[in-house]
Structure formats: C-alpha cells, structure tokens
Amino acid sequence: MNQTTKRTNIIYWLSTIALAIFILPGIFFAGSKMATDGTQHLGLPMWFHWELSIGKFIGGIILLLPFFPKRIKEWAYVAFGIDFISAFIAHLSVDGTKGLWYAPIIFFIILVISYLTYHKLQDAKV
C-alpha cells in the first residue's frame, strides 16, 4: 500500500467512524423526550421520526461494515446526504440562524469526505 492510499484509507475510516459515532447511538435515544420534542418542534410527524431513526441506524451499519456491496453503500450515502440537507433546511426554516442550524452541514461535509475517499479506495483496488 503506497503512502497516498494509506492516507486515503486513514481519512476514510476517520470520517466514516465519526459519522457512525454520530448516527448509530441515535436509535437508543429515539424514544427520549428530547428526541421526540425535537421532532415536534420541527413540525414533523412521529411516524417519520421512527422511520428516520430506524433508517439511519441501518444506513450507519451499512457504511461502517466493509462487506456490504458498493451499490448498497452508494444508496446509504445518498440517503444520508438527503437527510443532512433536509435537516439543514428544516432547522433553518423553523429556527432561522439561531440554534444548531449548521450541524447538519458539518456532518454533510464529513459524509462527502467519507464518500470521496471510499471511491478513491475502490478505484485503487481496480
């Protein structure tokens, strides 16, 4: 493994693990008052809250575990991209520029880094 591939591998795993640390524990707190209050604050229905919580957990597992096929990982990246962009729009629409409206953008950037380095590693295998 050359130096560039080694660096790409490290960046990929750091960004992917950072996403997993943010995403995966959410399923254990999905029923908490803070989580449900946040969903209600944004005007979202509770069925969507549960659907999103379960979907994010499954997507986090897919991104983290290396044995999932490339196409499945692609869809997980797309879903998280849509989720983070939608969260940014929702927070900005409801709260304006107060609060943590920028947090979804930070995680979107980490997602893009994970995505780009994932593809660099896939291209290096070919």
Q: pLDDT tens digits for 43-102?
A: 999 999 999 999 999 999 999 999 999 999 999 999 999 999 999 999 999 999 988 899
Domain count, the chain: 1
Average pLDDT, the chain: 95
pTM of the model: 0.93
Q: Exposure string (b/e) for 86-99, b if CB count within 10 Å is 16 or more?
A: ebbebbeeeeeeee
Q: Where are the alpha helices (DSSP H) in 65-102?
A: 70-95
Identify the CA nearest to 107 among candidates 73, 70, 74, 82: 82
Report percent pLDDT > 90 for the chain: 91
Q: How many C-alpha atoms does 58 have within 13 Å on its Cβ side?
A: 10
Q: What whole-number distance in Å separates Cα of residue 101 and Cα of residue 121? A: 32
Question: Containing domain of residue 110, as a range?
Answer: 3-125
